[in-house]
A and B are shown apart, each in its own frame.
Chain A
């Protein structure tokens, strides 16, 4: 947060555009396009929001769609809907919906129900993904990583359960617990490979459990 700026609240109802800038609390209900960087304390979005710059905030609550050309930085992101951005760097994410990030996405605590597409590294101290759709990340790294297929997801789209999968090149964590995941390499301390996984190589330190319904081509204890 830029401390020197003279900040005011911004409230937008309906359809509007803004140049962006530094604000206290920003509330958008409806559609809004910010033509520059946005820096604010509390950001409440309902509807569709575009930021043609980067976004810095403390707390963001979203219902609807939000697309940011640059990166998102702040304390927390909560809500449901869809977020598109170049990168995310926050403390906590609790989100239901679709997250598509072209670069890196990192948070200390990340809970996602839905789908994620991350072009770079997806990194969190605790990462929990409940899969509702096809997801992927180039790399995943962190302390505790849990990727589960959502039971509800299979129910609301019967016949498409094959799409509830997560694809990654590399997954590394202290505790790794996976379901329906295809990865080239998984490395970790305690590794649980659940049903529907297809893993090239698993390297583990302490513990490895492989579900009978999973394929692991190589397993190495280090």
Chain B
């Protein structure tokens, strides 16, 4: 399950931004270097981007760029510490529609400390919610996922990780690995989902706004 890619040309057409803007944002590190994916096509080398993330990021930049300078914006995007320290109450999580009510109902209760959610706990909820929302997970599997993430939290704290969800012969399992990682499975395994911490963080940040 590869991520959808979008070519640079399509991106410019779709968003109406210019080459100048794109390179300016790249210079200001508003768009991470590793999103620029080079691939050879029949017209020569072309640059591609991860579609969803890129479109989201460009929307974000376009909506904020009138209020903030590009440097401030870059600071905001890379400065995760403020978000990491943020604690949200159950009501706030519900109000901002960060995860679906079902996820919140089922998993929200168990790991509340002093009625607030930490950033990591929210990331876990978002992960569970994302996979449940895609219909790739049964509720039992979601239980397992949430438990896996919670138990392993200390081990991965402050590190980048990826989550793999695979199935073989009807048996499903999760793998949590330090990113970037390349895993190879045997033929019978179907990789259903692969999420990186960055994806989750980005999504959560967007919602925390």
| Interface residues, chain A, with chain B CB atoms under 8 Å away | 89, 106, 108, 123, 125, 141-144, 169-170, 172-174, 184-185, 187-189, 200-201, 203, 222
Contacts and interface: CB of A to CB of B under 8 A. Distances in A.
23 contacts: A89-B27, A106-B27, A108-B27, A123-B23, A123-B26, A123-B27, A125-B24, A141-B26, A142-B19, A142-B24, A143-B19, A143-B20, A143-B23, A143-B24, A144-B20, A170-B45, A173-B19, A174-B19, A174-B20, A185-B44, A200-B44, A201-B43, A201-B44
B207 interface: no
Contacts of B65: none
B44 A125 contact: no
A174 B45 contact: no
B106 interface: no
Main secondary structure on chain B at its contact with chain A? helix
A189 B44 contact: no
A173 B44 contact: no
A173 B18 CA distance: 8
B27 A174 contact: no
Interface string B31-47: 00000000000011100
B9 interface: yes
A203 B20 CA distance: 15
Nearest to B29: A89
A89 B28 CA distance: 10
Interface size class of B (residues with CB under 8 A): 10 to 19
Interface in B1-20: 9, 13, 18-20
Interface in B154-203: none
Which A-B residue pairs are the 9 nearest by beta carbons?
A143-B20, A141-B23, A174-B20, A172-B19, A106-B27, A174-B18, A123-B23, A142-B23, A173-B19
Interface in B100-120: none
A125 B25 CA distance: 10
Contact of B9 (A141, A169, A222): A222
A168 B25 CA distance: 22
A170 B40 CA distance: 13
B20 to A, nearest CB: 3
A169 B45 contact: yes
Interface string B58-78: 000000000000000000000
Nearest to B19: A172
Contacts of B13: 222
B44 A184 contact: yes
A21 to B, nearest CB: 27
Contacts of A185: 43-44
A188 B26 contact: no
Contacts of A108: 27
